Amino acid sequence: MNEEKLPRNLGLELVRATEAAALAAGGWIGLGDAVQPDQIASQAMRKVLDAIDFNGTIVLGEEDRRDHDLDLTSQRHVGTGSGPAVDVVADPIDGRMQLARGYPGAVSVIAVAPRNTIWQPLHAAYMEKIIVDEEVAPYLVEDCLDAPAAWTLSLVARAKGMKVNNLTVFVLDRPRHAYLIDEIRASGAHVILRQDGDVAGALVVSTPRTGVDVLMGTGGVPEGLLAACALKTLGGALIGRLNPQSDAEKQALLDAGYDLHAIFRTQDLVKSDQVFFSATGITDGMLLKGVMFRGKKAETHSLILRSETGTRRFVVAEHVLER
């Protein structure tokens, strides 16, 4: 595939967008509102993206899973229009309920790759997925999606040289996962439950020494794409398939010709090796600290990934809020 070369410092431009969204959302931590901060963070991220010299298209937005308007919807153009043509996947707040309730793990995330290299499953809102780290990646097989959780966790444990009862699994705390959670606990493995925020979960799983070994369950498709983009640098692996949560979503996918039994791996979701990814903490998490406000200043903690070089860059920034 002939790809346009992306500028090597693009990650430093993208982190400004996730910082802006995190700062906008940070004032809403623990206030119980998940809608208004989502809109404000989306606007803040869009403003920064529109100042970057690229011709960007949002390949898949959050409109299928939101009941309110956002600035970053599917097929919307971002950037100045000059520079390289790119695909963009963005989530101004991954973990809206974490933010609203003041819980840990809310982050702002964005990923960029050359045009037509990120999968664009329009009408798809939900995806079943399993994510593991670089150590387990060679052993992750498609059968894991249909096998009992205990079988998959036994495979993970063998790959890591651990016992199943020493594993920790990240799962979204949703009614649809009640049986999965029971299965995991019955196997002896530990469960970390989060109301939402499975991009943060993917980052934690694929980063060494966090104590979280695997992510399992159904979450958003945009979050799956973002996770795949991060994994291109972090070296973990993802397998997934579309898992519609309503008859309307299922019918829309079937009408569009999608095979609901097809299984996707990281490379199917993101074909390019020129991937830039940025995440900024909003609330404190296992990998990134949240926004800290100190009078007229604020501090943010971010992670920038560049797949082509394998670079992982942590950025601590101080922002002046008033002049």
Is 287 inside any structural domain? yes
- Clarify whether residues 243 and 146 are in a common domain: yes
- Clarify whether residues 282 and 191 are in a common domain: no
Is 280 inside any structural domain? yes
Q: Are strands 168-172 and 214-220 parallel, antiparallel or unpaired?
A: parallel
* Domain end call among 269, 287, 310: 269
- Clarify whether residues 160 and 195 are in a common domain: yes
Is 5 inside any structural domain? no
- Clarify whether residues 161 and 293 are in a common domain: no
- Clarify whether residues 231 and 189 are in a common domain: yes
- Clarify whether residues 167 and 261 are in a common domain: yes
DSSP code at position 270: B
φ and ψ of 89, to 5 deg: -125, 130
- Clarify whether residues 24 and 111 are in a common domain: yes
What is the total count of domains within the chain?
Answer: 2
Is 77 inside any structural domain? yes
- Clarify whether residues 64 and 164 are in a common domain: no
| CA 295/CA 281 separation, integer angstroms | 19
- Clarify whether residues 203 and 217 are in a common domain: yes
- Clarify whether residues 235 and 299 are in a common domain: no
- Clarify whether residues 152 and 107 are in a common domain: no
How far is residue 164 CA from its own chain's centroid? 26
Is 4 inside any structural domain? no
Token pair 């809206």: residue: 96
The CATH number of the domain where 62 resides is what? 3.30.540.10
Q: Are strands 190-194 and 214-220 parallel, antiparallel or unpaired?
A: unpaired
DSSP 17-51: HHHHHHHHHHTTTTSS-SSHHHHHHHHHHHHHHTT
Domain that holds residue 146: 126-269
Is 2 inside any structural domain? no
Structure-block tokens of residue 283: 């609330």
- Clarify whether residues 200 and 155 are in a common domain: yes
Is 145 inside any structural domain? yes
The CATH number of the domain where 185 resides is what? 3.40.190.90
Q: How far is residue 252 from each of residues 3, 6, 19, 247, measured CA to CA in Å?
A: 31, 34, 35, 9
Taking the chain (323 residues) in consecutive chunks of 10 residues, what is each chunk's mean pLDDT? 86 97 97 93 95 94 60 88 95 93 95 95 89 95 95 97 97 96 98 90 91 95 94 94 93 92 96 96 95 96 96 96 76
* Domain end call among 226, 250, 269: 269
pLDDT score at 124: 84
Half-sphere exposure of 14 (CA within 13 A, CB side): 32
Q: Which of 111, 125, 127, 124 is nearest to 265 (CA)?
A: 127
Is 121 inside any structural domain? no
